[in-house]
Amino acid sequence: MIREPIAMIVCADLANQVRGKGIPAAALAGRGRHGVGWVPTNHLITCFNTIPEGPYGSLGDLRLVPDLATEVRVDLDDGRPPEHFVLGDLRTLAGDPWVCCPRSALAAALRDLEDEAGLRIRAAFEHEFWCEPEAEGPWSGFSLAGYRRNASFGETLLAALTAAGVEPESFLPEYGRDQYEVTIAPARGLRAADESVIVCELTRAVASRLGRRVSFSPVVNDDVGNGLHLHLSLTDRDGVPCTYDADAPAQLHPEAGAFFAGVRDHLPEYLALTASSALSYDRLVPHKWSAAWNNLAVRDREASLRICPLAATPGADPAEQMNVEFRAADATGNPYLQLAAIARAGLAGIRAGAATPTPTEGDLGLLDPAALADLGVERLPTSLAAALHRLEASEAVSRWFPRELIDVFLVHKRGELAVVAGKERDEVRALYTGVY
């Protein structure tokens, strides 16, 4: 059969669904550079493919303009077309960033952080996901048997990532039944968020070619959630790490301490941007090794901000390794908005000259709200509706992002909530498992 190779120009939208249009691959570097037509209302398409009543209706036109540096072309050598896509920005017809473009919002946040504080973010998005097993049988967390159930999937995935220019660090069977995790090397700023999209899409691509179902939904079964953990560190403009200070509280350089104080303090206000589905809040509960309070703690997997361990082996440089893991996120959030909110909150902490938060210790579930308040900590919003309410009311967030972006996000997410309202837990889980 004759074939014309196609490249998809795509963007991750407010539902963190990756949508776009295909063009002949040969045209990408030429006319493809100017992008394809896009429609504002597309931003309102929920993960369930409904469109809540919003401000744009049938009106308006945008361009989805590819950033050719993000091009992914991976031939999986299975006789089917390669995975060929390019990530893009949403622009007005005049070529300016559209106010609701998540990728442009991140670029702006990173620019401000660098201009004002001289800092850059280095990040690795670490994804957990559920993968339909090749064979049935009992599950044993982290076991070789668990790995073996999806060994060919894992090998193909790592090869696909490498071919896409993303550096895989590990593939592992996680604790939850049929749960796996893939970790990658950190990357700078915008590229880190691009890689989050690339990792999820290549995982889905490999699964679909192997006839296997995968899901990044935050809760697939009763075991544990699928987390998205963002490993964050700061560098100066030259890429020199500046997160670590051996003598400072929590071994965080005071400026990094101020950054993470802002990230912590504002978290309840922007949580809806990092954990963006109704189901996200079934994961963000105590004793699930996710995040239930806006606390910073040392090597504690129940903290929203976990100071990661430093290897003390000879030659291991603590400044290079030092990173803080943000755990109150999942793959239903848009990675650009996740990192943009973190960058904005961190910059707010730096502007305020905030002190490094005192790391919490022990089970915060044993403390009452007053004791938590003494620690500067609060229980995170416990539902998407509550998180949206905090987002809507936040003065800080309305300074960080264009109001239109937040308003459209609220309409979109409330439309998503309307779809799951009144449904049984199992049905809601099945719906999200299917779309993420």
| Residue 420 one-letter amino acid | V
Kindly indicate which of the ranges 151-159, 248-256, 283-291, 345-353 contains the residues binding ligand GLU, using the contact rule CB under 6 A.
283-291
**Closer residue to ligand GLU, CB minimum distance, 117 or 328:** 328
Residue 265 interacts with Mg ion (CB under 5 A): yes or no: no
Binding partner selected for residue 225 from ligand GLU, Mg ion, none, CB under the kind-specific 5 to 8 Å limit? ligand GLU
**Closer residue to ligand GLU, CB minimum distance, 220 or 431:** 220
Residue 347 interacts with ligand GLU (CB under 6 A): yes or no: no
Kindly indicate which of the ranges 110-118, 204-212, 222-230, 259-267 contains the residues binding ligand GLU, using the contact rule CB under 6 A.
222-230
* Residue with token string 């997160």: 243
Q: Give CA–CA dist 219/193, Å, rounded.
A: 22
Least distance (Å) from Mg ion to the CB of residue 386? 26
Among 55, 15, 13, residue whose Cα is nearest residue 38? 13
* Residues 6+ positions from 339 with CB-CB distance below 8 Å: 106, 109, 121, 123, 189, 192, 193, 230
CA–CA distance from 299 to each of 156, 183, 255, 388 (Å)? Answer: 32, 18, 20, 30
Selected binder of ligand GLU within 82, 225, 359, 381 (CB under 6 A): 225
**266 in Cβ contact with 345 (< 8 Å):** yes
- Cα angle 45, 389, 225; round to 5: 70
Classified as helix, coil or strand, 13 is coil
Binding partner selected for residue 220 from ligand GLU, Mg ion, none, CB under the kind-specific 5 to 8 Å limit? none
Least distance (Å) from ligand GLU to the CB of residue 269? 21
Q: Shortest Cβ contact with ligand GLU: which residue?
A: 227
Interface with ligand GLU in residues 303-342 (CB under 6 A): 327
Kindly indicate which of the ranges 174-182, 319-327, 330-338, 423-431 contains the residues binding Mg ion, using the contact rule CB under 5 A.
174-182
Residue 181 interacts with Mg ion (CB under 5 A): yes or no: yes
**Closer residue to ligand GLU, CB minimum distance, 102 or 227:** 227
- Cα angle 19, 21, 22; round to 5: 130
Kindly indicate which of the ranges 89-97, 148-156, 181-189, 251-259 contains the residues binding Mg ion, using the contact rule CB under 5 A.
181-189
Q: Give CA–CA dist 161/199, Å, rounded.
A: 7
Selected binder of ligand GLU within 20, 35, 82, 227 (CB under 6 A): 227
**119 in Cβ contact with 233 (< 8 Å):** no
Q: Shortest Cβ contact with Mg ion: which residue?
A: 181
Least distance (Å) from ligand GLU to the CB of residue 73? 31
Kindly indicate which of the ranges 37-45, 132-140, 224-232, 384-392 contains the residues binding ligand GLU, using the contact rule CB under 6 A.
224-232
What's the sign of the alpha-carbon dihedral 245, 246, 247, 251? positive
Query: Other C-beta atoms within 10 Å of 111: how many?
Result: 12
Distance, CA of 398 to chain centre:
21
- DSSP states of 307-324 as a string? EPP---STT--HHHH--E
Q: Which residues bind ligand GLU (CB under 6 A)?
A: 128, 224-225, 227, 283, 289-290, 301, 327
Q: Which residues bind Mg ion (CB under 5 A)?
A: 181
